Structure 1
Amino acid sequence: MTYVDQPAPGVDQPLPAVTTDDGPATFKDVVAAYVGLTKPRVIELLLLTTVPVMFFAARGIPDLMLVVWTVIGGTLSAGSASAYNCVYDRDIDEQMRRTRRRALPRHLVGARGALIFATVLAVLSTVILWFGVNPLSAELSIGANAFYVFIYTMLLKRRTTQNIVWGGIAGCFPALIGWTAVTGHLAWTPVILFLVVFFWTPPHTWALALRYREDYANVDVPMLPVVKPAAEVGRQIVLYSWVMVATSLALWPIGNLGWFYPAAALVLGVVFLVEAHRMAHRAKGTEELSVIKPMRLFHHSNLYLSLLFVAVAIDPLITR
């Protein structure tokens, strides 16, 4: 396996004329481009693993202003990490179908401007979480941001098939931040939720990477579906899915939950495992994406995680 070694445009190079497919970019186009750097869909998913944990930690409805400050700080922190990622990956983003419409490949935003934007978001998020929530939550947010940028983006992504297995740790931090925002300390309960997201990340990401494996192959990013046949990818997805479901059920006794969460976790887990096994079965003996249908599992994984964490929030409200 060889890796892309082409120098990306430097942050000191002048920004080309800002245009869109319809002509010169408007102020609205540029603002939308900066918002796009934060990857709003990723932020939505991260918040879905933060806010429900706050309800769980409070065993009811947490202080609403605390929720507001946590959401604002978390949004800015996640947006900052995504923007840094866009700056570093702008060379490969320009070559991939899935990412070539992002702001930097389209030259709607310059690398220097994006770097400044990411840094401002990082500083603001730290200040908001430190003073509006608590120092521990701010420190965890800084750690998640740094892990995503330095460990995943810069160290692992272009070097190993295990990139998203370990790089995905950054996406597990919101569960810890939601808990510490309410309690001010860590415990085993949020660690279990951290691990649920950890084991959920490979099936979720590998399904997407299988769909876009040609993109990753063209830029020499060794995602698992690039270097292994679809059957092996399916096998590993099934393995991680079983561990994920088992971990989700472990939260019941450790988190002292009522009947609602384990019932929801069991139903959601069974449905997820059925879908994972079906995809793995379809992947045996073929590499045709139209047959494998990996995006079915990808979209299902988003629904699974969202509903599981909603169940975490609801259980204390109806079973206390």
Structure 2
Amino acid sequence: MTAVHVTPTEGVDQPTVLPASRRDVVLSYIALTKPRIIELLLLTTVPVMFLAAQDVPPLWLVVATVVGGTLSAGSANALNCVVDADIDQLMRRTSRRPLPRHQVSTNGALYFGLALGVVSTVWLWTLVNPLSAMLALAANVFYVIGYTMILKRRTTQNIVWGGAAGCFPALIGWTAVTNELAWAPVVLFMVVFFWTPPHFWALAMRYREDYAAASVPMLPSVASSDEVSRQIVIYSWVMVATSLLLWPYTGWFYPAMAITLGIIFLIEAYDLRSRARDTEDLSIIKPMRLFHFSNAYLALLFVAAAIDPFVK
């Protein structure tokens, strides 16, 4: 995986910043792992461990799973930065990442990502269990090869299928506790799967010109806002319906929260649909409103799953 360096397009800020100290180098490598994305992944891992245990899981197991999951997600994100270095420098949203700014060498980022992948697999295999390790490795491989290398630049359905990689933490959290798969984590896997398109397409609407400049066929860059918002509403309904499939495995608290959060999400999705019907003006459409709420929705839904066993 060798990054192809493409001359930046006019109007895109492309500063070349060399690390001035050892601290800068360390921070640049940390930036490759995309910590903010990892935070969201961990929010779908730890609560599932509480649900699986129907109690407070052992602290050492939570720590081991979180560390292993962080290393695995960091590996996938760093390798994603290597493969996407050429288009990252064409997009305003990503042009300040370490590789476009030449803060980290391509080989350095590649070896770093591979090393994190090996360490995370060994860590989870040894300290958690082999099943969790294999699930984390599968998510890593699918994200880098399936999404980044195959789907992202070829189809408008890239994030629909490629987003499946971000669903694995729900499975990993469950198997870390039980060492087996079950229907409950599969339901939560599917919730994240159907949540990803509304979440990411709202963000991509905001940065649709970036994707167009990089020739990435993200749906908002090739379809009208009216069509994108229609698809968001469809996936939102499926997501909310799927979230209720966990009801037979919980008490009353989770379904009450799932219904409440689902209603609010659908209201936000329909509001976006209404604003996007007859305009392409982002100041009117305000897609980031749904994007920000989608983060809160997922976090609160999974926290509700974690709290449910304690509410009688």
TM range, smaller chain: over 0.9
Work out whether 1:285 is the aligned partner of 2:278: yes
Whole-Å Cα distance in 2 between the matches of residues 281 and 247 of structure 1?
Answer: 24
Using the TM superposition, give the Cα deviation of residue 9 of structure 1 relative to its aligned residue in structure 2, in angstroms: 4.1
Match of 1:268 among 253, 261, 264: 261
- Counterpart of 1:198, as a letter, is F
Aligned partners of 1:37 and 1:86 also within 8 Å: yes
Aligned partners of 1:196 and 1:248 also within 8 Å: yes
Q: Partner of 1:185: helix, strand, or coil?
A: coil
Whole-Å Cα distance in 2 between the matches of residues 174 and 272 of structure 1?
Answer: 22
- Counterpart of 2:206, as a letter, is R
Aligned partners of 2:46 and 2:66 also within 8 Å: yes
Aligned partners of 1:25 and 1:108 also within 8 Å: no
Using the TM superposition, give the Cα deviation of residue 227 of structure 1 relative to its aligned residue in structure 2, in angstroms: 1.1
Using the TM superposition, give the Cα deviation of residue 75 of structure 1 relative to its aligned residue in structure 2, in angstroms: 0.1
Residue-pair matches, total: 303
- Counterpart of 2:37, as a letter, is V
Identity %: 69
- Alignment-derived partner of residue 4 in structure 1: none
- Alignment-derived partner of residue 15 in structure 1: none
Q: Partner of 1:159: helix, strand, or coil?
A: coil
Q: Partner of 1:190: helix, strand, or coil?
A: helix
Whole-Å Cα distance in 2 between the matches of residues 291 and 274 of structure 1?
Answer: 17
Unaligned runs of 5+ in 2: 7-14
TM-score, normalisation: structure 2: 0.95
- Counterpart of 2:234, as a letter, is L
- Counterpart of 2:306, as a letter, is A
Work out whether 1:30 is the aligned partner of 2:51: no
Work out whether 1:249 is the aligned partner of 2:230: no
Aligned partners of 2:253 and 2:304 also within 8 Å: yes
- Alignment-derived partner of residue 306 in structure 1: 299
Q: Partner of 1:286: helix, strand, or coil?
A: coil
Aligned partners of 1:165 and 1:198 also within 8 Å: yes
Whole-Å Cα distance in 1 between the matches of residues 310 and 43 of structure 2?
Answer: 17
- Counterpart of 1:289, as a letter, is L
Match of 2:308 among 307, 310, 315: 315
Whole-Å Cα distance in 1 between the matches of residues 226 and 41 of structure 2?
Answer: 30
Using the TM superposition, give the Cα deviation of residue 265 of structure 1 relative to its aligned residue in structure 2, in angstroms: 0.6
Runs of 4+ with deviation above 2 angstroms: none
- Alignment-derived partner of residue 133 in structure 1: 128
- Alignment-derived partner of residue 10 in structure 2: none
Q: Partner of 1:125: helix, strand, or coil?
A: helix
Work out whether 1:206 is the aligned partner of 2:201: yes
- Counterpart of 2:253, as a letter, is F
Question: For the aligned residues, what is the CA RMSD?
Answer: 1.5
1:170-181 pair list within 5 angstroms: 170-181=165-176
Using the TM superposition, give the Cα deviation of residue 318 of structure 1 relative to its aligned residue in structure 2, in angstroms: 1.8
Using the TM superposition, give the Cα deviation of residue 174 of structure 1 relative to its aligned residue in structure 2, in angstroms: 0.3
1:222-241 pair list within 5 angstroms: 222-241=217-236
- Alignment-derived partner of residue 120 in structure 1: 115
1:43-82 pair list within 5 angstroms: 43-82=38-77
Aligned partners of 1:19 and 1:25 also within 8 Å: no
Using the TM superposition, give the Cα deviation of residue 137 of structure 1 relative to its aligned residue in structure 2, in angstroms: 0.2
